[in-house]
Chain A
Amino acid sequence: MGIIETKKLIFEYIRRDEEGNVEGITRAIDEVDLDIKQGDFVAILGHNGSGKSTLAKHLNAILYPTEGTVWVDGKDTAKEEYLWEIRQNAGMVFQNPDNQIIGQVVEEDVGFGPENMGVPTKEIWERVEESLKAVGMYQYRKHSPNKLSGGQKQRVSIAGVIAMHPKCIILDEPTAMLDPNGRKEVVRAVRALNHAEGITVVLITHYMEEIIHADKAIVMDQGHIAMQGSPKEIFSKVEKLKELRLDVPQVTLLAYELKKRGVALPDGILTKEELIEALSGISHIPWGKAKE
């Protein structure tokens, strides 16, 4: 059994009108089966309203399934006695950096999780130091979070989660409110954690370029899993992605268009380097095909 597993997970929102009568039921998650292994980097994609954030909240026992089961590290999230263990094992980073930083000084915020867990004072300091170093924010430990950039704030939030020594981190659109530089910063920090510390990462995003380095990508649409596989497999299906209203990275799109015009390129090109390499290996490029 993997670190995170869900079986036939269903979650329904009950919509009510102003008097509180039930207007209807929206199924946000529809029979989702997940199996995430320890040490994996999994990206979950989907446009707005696809249920990806709702799914994330199930992995940390913030929401409970209407039907089906979620196991985190082998423990059923619906069971109350496991609640704090699950929240410690599956740390969560949210979208808005301002709304998840509790401390007025960076180090105090990182210490908040361990404090709640009842970690002894001396060990809290060790954990704070090691987590801030892991995300490259150690030199800012005495700063006020209000004075940091968006990317730095998110790195502090990530440090706050790793200080709890989780087995897995779930990041719910951590880059949605950041500028391109901030996005790169955060993704780099997350990848480093996955590589160096072996922490399982579940990254929820709608930026396609962030999933390139993932081990596995899952595309969600209307509450169920529409596609899953390696990023290469996902990106080789450009038509399907467009159908699901997802943006394809520019390089992949270019390669796709070239291929359609008759250039012999492989499927699922993800980076500039790959495209250059593939193109330089081709002897004949039918540039002037239209004229001939």
Chain B
Amino acid sequence: MLRDITLGQYYQTDSVIHRLDPRVKLVATFVFIISLFLVDNFIGYLIAAAFLACMVKISKVPFRFMVKGMKSIVFLLLVAVVFNLFLTPGEPLISVWKLTVTKEGLRLAAMMAVRLVFLIIGSSLMTLTTTPNNLTDGMEKLMSPLKRLHVPVHEVAMMMSIALRFIPILLEETDKIMKAQIARGADFESGNLIKKAKSLVPLLVPLFISAFRRANDLAMAMEARCYRGGEHRTKMKPLIYHRRDRYAYAVLLGYAVVSVYFGRIFTL
């Protein structure tokens, strides 16, 4: 159950999207997310959906992988929808007890749901098509101007890439600890929210201990392999823009212009 979260999980296949420079994909994801929040009409979302669908198709990653990642945010999605649905003032549609669904609320809730779903699919697409190392390389390179301000860009990038690498391992471990505790009569399922949260404490303690132990081992292994920060380091896969990356930027610019024009400025 815990293994279903796909964020940070690379899907191995060969497609144009996989081969793109990670910087392009990072910028594209960023632009796509901004476009989602700028757009506020139906056509805008239709364009975003079409763009996303094309990218998913080109990436050759099975769609179910992205849906899998979505399961983890169902709760967040519900909260966002429910709050927007009932707490937006405006023209009332249905009224049950003290709760009123307004027309504006319905519209906002639907928009919020679509935004969140697209956001997750969009960012999963990035992480599914880019190896975490590649991803952090991209971030490192994009943020390298910050080095002059003494921001530890390389260190942050390395931490992120390691965190991403350990997500599946720690999830598997959580699963194992949970099963071991269930076998000895622990109950993670019943009770209200507070009780459920409390039952997670005995799960977190061994998980933290093991995470620290792993961190210690990993630090030692990295030092043993001559890791000493970003200085003097060369790259096995240095980032170089190719022709396809320039095309991708052009496509992205096209999408941004069309999306903002139809989704915000142009009105029927």
B218 contacts partner chain A, Cβ-Cβ < 8 Å: yes
For the complex formed, measure the closest distance between the CB of B186 and the CB atoms of chain A, giving whole angstroms. 25
From 213 to 265 in chain B, residues with beta carbon under 8 angstroms from any chain A beta carbon are: 214, 217-218, 220-228, 232-238
Contact of A62 among B168, B169, B223, B234 (CB under 8 A): B223
For the complex formed, measure the closest distance between the CB of B58 and the CB atoms of chain A, giving whole angstroms. 20
Closest to B137 in A: A108
- A105 in contact with B133 (CB, 8 Å): yes
Bound: A92/B220 CA distance, A: 10
For the complex formed, measure the closest distance between the CB of A51 and the CB atoms of chain B, giving whole angstroms. 17
A120 contacts partner chain B, Cβ-Cβ < 8 Å: yes
- CB neighbours (8 Å) of B169 from chain A are 98, 146
A113 contacts partner chain B, Cβ-Cβ < 8 Å: yes
A96 contacts partner chain B, Cβ-Cβ < 8 Å: yes
- A87 in contact with B223 (CB, 8 Å): yes
- CB neighbours (8 Å) of A142 from chain B are 12
From 81 to 111 in chain A, residues with beta carbon under 8 angstroms from any chain B beta carbon are: 84, 87-88, 91-92, 94, 96, 98-105, 107-108, 111
From 51 to 84 in chain B, residues with beta carbon under 8 angstroms from any chain A beta carbon are: none
A238 contacts partner chain B, Cβ-Cβ < 8 Å: no
- CB neighbours (8 Å) of B238 from chain A are 121
- A111 in contact with B221 (CB, 8 Å): no
- A104 in contact with B220 (CB, 8 Å): no
- B224 in contact with A104 (CB, 8 Å): no
- A62 in contact with B10 (CB, 8 Å): no
- B233 in contact with A91 (CB, 8 Å): no
- CB neighbours (8 Å) of B214 from chain A are 96, 98-99
- A60 in contact with B224 (CB, 8 Å): yes
Bound: A108/B227 CA distance, A: 14
B164 contacts partner chain A, Cβ-Cβ < 8 Å: yes
- B225 in contact with A164 (CB, 8 Å): yes
- A94 in contact with B220 (CB, 8 Å): yes
Per-residue B-contact encoding for A267-280, CB less than 8 Å = 1, 0 else: 00000000000000
Bound: A209/B56 CA distance, A: 52
Contact of A92 among B131, B224, B228 (CB under 8 A): B224
- B236 in contact with A102 (CB, 8 Å): no
Bound: A144/B165 CA distance, A: 10
Per-residue B-contact encoding for A3-35, CB less than 8 Å = 1, 0 else: 000000000000000000000000000000000
B162 contacts partner chain A, Cβ-Cβ < 8 Å: yes
- B225 in contact with A105 (CB, 8 Å): no
Bound: A60/B226 CA distance, A: 10
Number of A residues with CB within 8 Å of any CB on chain B: 40
- CB neighbours (8 Å) of A88 from chain B are 226
- A102 in contact with B222 (CB, 8 Å): yes
- CB neighbours (8 Å) of A111 from chain B are 236-237
- CB neighbours (8 Å) of A99 from chain B are 214, 217-218, 221
Bound: A107/B134 CA distance, A: 12
For the complex formed, measure the closest distance between the CB of A156 and the CB atoms of chain B, giving whole angstroms. 12
- CB neighbours (8 Å) of A84 from chain B are 226, 228
B132 contacts partner chain A, Cβ-Cβ < 8 Å: yes
- B225 in contact with A116 (CB, 8 Å): yes
- CB neighbours (8 Å) of A119 from chain B are 234
Per-residue A-contact encoding for B116-140, CB less than 8 Å = 1, 0 else: 0000000000000001110000000
A134 contacts partner chain B, Cβ-Cβ < 8 Å: no
- B227 in contact with A128 (CB, 8 Å): no
Contact of A118 among B131, B165, B232 (CB under 8 A): B232
- A100 in contact with B226 (CB, 8 Å): no
- B10 in contact with A100 (CB, 8 Å): no
- CB neighbours (8 Å) of B234 from chain A are 114-115, 118-121, 124
- A144 in contact with B10 (CB, 8 Å): yes
A174 contacts partner chain B, Cβ-Cβ < 8 Å: no
Bound: A84/B228 CA distance, A: 9
- B225 in contact with A87 (CB, 8 Å): yes
A161 contacts partner chain B, Cβ-Cβ < 8 Å: yes
Do A115 and B236 form a contact, CB below 8 Å, given A88-B226, A160-B225?
yes
A117 contacts partner chain B, Cβ-Cβ < 8 Å: yes
Per-residue A-contact encoding for B147-161, CB less than 8 Å = 1, 0 else: 000000000000001
Bound: A54/B164 CA distance, A: 30
- CB neighbours (8 Å) of B164 from chain A are 104
A112 contacts partner chain B, Cβ-Cβ < 8 Å: yes
- CB neighbours (8 Å) of A108 from chain B are 131, 133, 236-237
Per-residue B-contact encoding for A248-287, CB less than 8 Å = 1, 0 else: 0000000000000000000000000000000000000000
- CB neighbours (8 Å) of B218 from chain A are 99-100, 102
For the complex formed, measure the closest distance between the CB of B133 and the CB atoms of chain A, giving whole angstroms. 5
Closest 7 CB pairs of A and B: A111-B236, A100-B221, A99-B217, A113-B225, A116-B226, A92-B224, A124-B236
Assuming A102-B222, A116-B226, what are 4 further A-B pairs, CB within 8 angstroms?
Answer: A87-B223, A99-B218, A121-B238, A125-B236
A interface list, Cβ under 8 A from B:
60, 62, 84, 87-88, 91-92, 94, 96, 98-105, 107-108, 111-121, 124-125, 128, 142-144, 146, 160-161, 164
5 residue pairs bridging A and B, Cβ less than 8 Å apart: A60-B224, A100-B217, A103-B165, A104-B165, A108-B237
